Amino acid sequence: MPGIVAGDHKLAIAPVPENEKERLKALESYDLMDQDVGPVFDKIIRIAADVCEVDISVIALIGEERQYFLSRNNMEPRETPRAIAFCAHAILEPDELFEIENATEDPRFRDNPLVTGEIGVRFYAACPLTTADGLAIGGLCLIGKKPKSLNNVQRDTLRRLGDVIMNLFETRKAQMQSAQEILEAKRAADAQNQAKTLFLSSMSHELRTPLNAVIGYSDFLETEAFGPLGHKKYKQYASAIKASGDHLYALIDDILDVSRLEMGGLELDDLVIYMDEQLESCREIIESQLQKADVALAIGIAIDKPTLKGDPVRFRQVVLNLLSNALKFTPEKGRISVSVFLSDDNRIIMRVADTGIGIAPENLAKVMEPFQQVRENPHLAHMGSGLGLPLSKGLVELHGGTFDLESTVGEGTTVTITFPPERTLVREQ
């Protein structure tokens, strides 16, 4: 029997299990050595000590060279060398309860420092803590300072408590794995977002540079800045080129804004928004489109000088998106209305309604997703990017507001935006 010298006697050392490499790997997978795992295990070992009527109880883990006490009850040392660990013997029989009635009479332990020293082990019992693969990583151990033996009820309780401990180990391990998977997924998502941001930034620059040239040159042609083009068709073509360039430029901006919103990279420039002035400015911008489509726009403000704390550029972007979207899907002689009023709890509410073709209930969620389009009326619907509504919703929510969409096919669509009360300002008279 292998051993080391202890005084005048040879101390028995437990042999290393044949599956030691796998056992140590299993122990490592739980990440328990030198860890603070909380009070639940302390309660379990105290229950074990009370039921089995002993002085000391511990959860021992057997590492490569040491015995580590994960939880201790009336045990001072935090660890011992593996060479003197009783539990190193217990793990040799993973499925059997290990019990020593009197250690002073057992040749393996009578000269053990844990027996001859201050701890004074006499009785010892351990329920091996065994994985589903049959690998014992440690034990639920009991120590008595007087010789004794357990009865069947106590042995059964010790086994049950050992099962509880292993179940807790498995739960903790699963939680750690889930947390690690979430962390890795977050890192991957962050890396993808960063790559996406860099790509969009690069592509934005690469696309805007030639677009600026196209828009600028087409503007010169459209205005005949350097003299007549010679044929009226050339001027029409120049106008079409400029309109297409402007549309593509705006589309690039929308795509970038949606991406920034998704990645949390869009920040507000909080200033004072004079809503009546902004709404009139938006009306002027789309006035020619309204006249061409023969659609009326009415703006009604039920607040004296409505003033909002927010980003004026983003507010105007929301309004123009909603007006443009309403205009696309409202037939001739139709009507668009914008109303602004104050709620009882001091929230500014803005409502944009139209008498357009409406949206079917099953498509309401779809139109709020980027790049999604529906065709309720293919003869009236205009081609678009599908970014207006989701971008507007994101910008409103960035202000802390809510964005509600209601629609009825054949009757029209209403968007209600509600800003939080802290963004309502009082304008000086």
pTM recorded for the entire structure:
0.51
- Residue 245 is encoded by which pair of tokens? 């360039």
Q: What is the pLDDT of residue 297?
A: 96
**Is residue 31 left, alpha or beta, with left meaning phi > 0 and alpha meaning psi from -120 to 50?**
left
Q: What is the pLDDT of residue 427?
A: 57
| Dihedral sign of CA atoms 281, 282, 285, 290 in order | negative
Name residues whose C-beta falls within 8 Å of residue 219's C-beta, 6 or more positions apart in sequence: 242
**Is residue 386 left, alpha or beta, with left meaning phi > 0 and alpha meaning psi from -120 to 50?**
left
Angle (nearest 5°) at CA 241 between 236 and 245: 150
Residues facing 352 on adjacent strands? 338, 415
- Which of the residues in the chain have pLDDT under 50? 1-8, 379-381, 383, 429
Q: What is the pLDDT of residue 239?
A: 80
Residues facing 123 on adjacent strands? 144
Q: What is the pLDDT of residue 8?
A: 46
Quick: pLDDT tens for 356-404.
Answer: 999 999 888 888 876 556 655 554 445 455 678 888 999 999 999 999 9
Q: What is the pLDDT of residue 377?
A: 53
Q: What is the pLDDT of residue 24?
A: 97
DSSP of 83-113, one letter per residue?
A: GG-THHHHTTSTTS-EEES-GGG-TTTTT-H
Q: What is the pLDDT of residue 179?
A: 86
Name the phi and psi angles at 79, rounded to 5: -160, 165
